[in-house]
Amino acid sequence: FFFSSRRRHTRFLPVSWARRCVQETVLMDCQMPVLDGFEATKILRQMMQNRQLPYCTIIACTAFAMDKDEQKCYECGMDDVITKPVSQKMFKEVMIRPVSYTHLR
């Protein structure tokens, strides 16, 4: 599932809907029910590699702040990590930081 706030109500949508919603940046919750953010990211990256979706930046949003948790985010294809609780300053820093795109090589 991926998160969409395009309308007034926040909701979770199936990954197949991602084709209809072009996003430049996705803030991916790692601890989602049913399909966690790690698996959802793998599916989205595969769709991007198959040219079913345009490339977008995926930023992990997680309550876990250990190095091994951060590494897991990068290994599944996320571009950056932000830990909860998210402050406005932290969010701004992550959004302006350059992305390496190493997982696309």
Picking from 63, 78, 66, 64, the residue whose alpha carbon sits closest to that of residue 28 is: 78
Picking from 47, 37, 26, the residue whose alpha carbon sits closest to that of residue 72 is: 37
Q: Which residues pair with 28 in a beta bridge?
A: 60
Nearby residues of 55 by Cβ (< 8 Å), 6 or more positions away:
48, 104
pLDDT digits (tens, 9 = 90+) for 83-98: 888 888 988 888 887 7
**pTM, two decimal places:** 0.73
Q: Three-state DSSP class for 16?
A: helix
Helix (H) or strand (E) holding 81: strand 80-83
Q: What is the pLDDT of residue 105?
A: 41
The angle at the Cα of 25, spanning 23 to 31, to the nearest 5 degrees, equals 110
pLDDT digits (tens, 9 = 90+) for 56-93: 889 999 988 788 989 999 999 999 999 888 888 988 88
